[in-house]
Every structure is written in structure tokens, then in C-alpha cells.
A = this chain, B = another copy of it.
Amino acid sequence: MKKSLFSLAASVCLSTVVPIAYANSGSANIPQSQISGYTYGQKSVAIAPYTLKDLESLKKTLLFTDEDVLYLRKSKEILADQTDAVLDVWYGFVASTPELVEYFKNIKTGKPDGDYLAAVRKRFSQWILDTADANYDQAWLDYQYEIGLRHTKIKKNKTDHVKSVPQVNFRYLPALTIPVTTTLKPFLAKKGASTADVEKMHAAWVKSVLLQTILWSYPYVREGQF
């Protein structure tokens, strides 16, 4: 029901409010080297201010276990050829939520920036695969910090050379855990997995996305309080 609601919103909004450029970019599974601004594992990425030990503590608190890693891996096979369809739903949700589409606004035109949306979409597609395939090592940790910075005044807009609002407000980062994982669930069920397995994949996704948004929050948090 949620999905069809979003799809409807997507159809309405994509055709009216938001430039159509990102509606179907055909971006799924393009080679990582061709994704502009995708710097996972590259030298330009700073070392994260939190450690692998901090990560282990956080995983423990989130009840994030090896079983979750297993079910995330399972989800990769299922999602690999569906990333564009997933992104249509996610972008539809953003487009239909003024509080969120605001963050893609071009400050000159006051309208959503189609090129910006399209550029982010390519990395977002890769993020689905990366979340399913994450190995939680130092490079992964460093890239979480980089993603966090790109939502704040420190780095937002720079990767894509756009003139948009200066930051995504903190509160929407952890909040997006819910729409992202709720709308993902029907896609997890589309390839014949058992109901129990879909539930486990979904639960693993909820934990992983919440874990990531917590790590992304670091630059928003006052010194010494993270």
C-alpha cells in the first residue's frame, strides 16, 4: 500500500514539480569508476574520527550480528537488478515530501536541481549494493564519515558542484531509516524468498541503515559528545 502511494506520488510529482532527468537514469550497476564523486576506498577520503572498536560497540548495541551480515548478502542478489525500481520509489517519496526535496533545491531557481538529483542517484544506486555487501573495515568506516560530511555545511554541494541549500538537517538522517527500509521490503519479496527470510533481510537492513545514519551524524554532533 505504501509502495503504491509513493509510486503515485512519484508519477504525479516527477511529471510536475521535479525535473524528469533523474526519473530513470538507467544508473543501476554501472561501473564504480564511472560514478562521479564515488570515492569509496580512495586516498582522498579522510580517516574516520571513530574506530573499528567503536563500530563493534555500536553493532553490539544494535544487536547487529553475523546473521544480519548474511541476510544483507542474500539481499544483494535479490536487489542487484532492481536498484532502479527501488530508486524510483525512494525518489518518488523525496519528491512528494517538500521537507526532503528542499535539500535538492537549486538556490537560484528555487526548484529541484535535476542534474544534482541525477548525480546523487548514481551513488545512491551503488549505496544499495554497498549496504548489502559491506565488510565493516576501515575503508568502509572512513566512507561513512565521508558520506556524513557530504550532508553537512562542510561538504554538501561540493561533490556535484551545485548551488543548493547548505546542509541536510540532522534530524532527517536517522529518520530516513524508516521510509528507505519500509519501501525496500516489497522488493526483497519479489524473487521468491520465504516470508521468514524477507523479514530477516528487512530487519538486517533496518539495523544497517540506522547504524550508517548514526555514523553519518558525527559531524553534526558537538565536540566530545558523539
Interface residues in chain A, defined as those with a beta carbon under 8 Å from any beta carbon in chain B: 2, 54, 57-58, 60-64, 97, 99-100, 152-153, 167, 169-172, 174-179, 182, 206-207, 210-211, 213-214, 217, 220-222, 225-226
Contact = CB atoms under 8 A, between A and B. Distances in A.
A84 B153 CA distance: 45
B207 A171 contact: no
Nearest to A94: B61
A100 B170 contact: no
Nearest to A223: B222
Counted per complex, copies of this chain come to 2
Task: Name the 3 nearest CB pairs between A and B, nearest first.
Answer: A57-B99, A61-B175, A62-B178
Contact of A214 (B99, B100, B167, B171): B171
A217 B170 contact: yes
B210 A62 contact: no
A214 B210 CA distance: 12
